[in-house]
Structure 1
């Protein structure tokens, strides 16, 4: 038995294949571009209290073992305090703002100094 391929059908399938292939490629590219990489904050235990790290794609970009802005060199008293400040820094970075922390930020977060 011999199969005869109609050129019109072949043209239809080629066009159908290419239209769908372009859609699939476009969809995959769009999905890859819109995947948002997130920042991850984690508390760390120090010798004198608590600190935090902020990671991006499993790489630590900020490691803060002392309370910023104050004149003394001491760690956060509690893990909760460290995570509050880490959350603020992550929020600022997500808003494309400077991750610096002010004394006023510490007061608003009720960080024990």
Structure 2
């Protein structure tokens, strides 16, 4: 990513709970409606959980590393799976 990136994370309310989007200059680059890396299709239970994971993805992007979330990341953030 370029240094002039303007990344932001926002929560989104969906039918089954919460998700998040990450934007770069108002352009959506990641939209996550379900909890990543778990086998079932399940949304985040709370806005806080969605934002916690979204912020972690944002930090990874800003550090120029892969934005992939692991099961361990979810456990460390105490996300209900």
TM-score, normalised by the number of residues in structure 1: 0.68
Q: Which runs of 5+ in 1 are unaligned?
A: 1-34
Aligned twin of 2:46: 78
Structure having the higher strand fraction is 2
Structure having the higher helix fraction is 1
**Structure 1 residue runs of 4 or more that deviate by more than 6 Å after TM superposition:** none
Q: Which has the larger radius of gyration?
A: 1
Aligned twin of 2:70: 102
> What does 1:1-113 correspond to in 2, within 5 Å?
36-113=4-81
Q: CA deviation at 1:102?
A: 0.2
Q: CA deviation at 1:112?
A: 1.0
Matched positions, count: 79
Q: Which runs of 5+ in 2 are unaligned?
A: none
TM-score, normalised by the number of residues in structure 2: 0.94
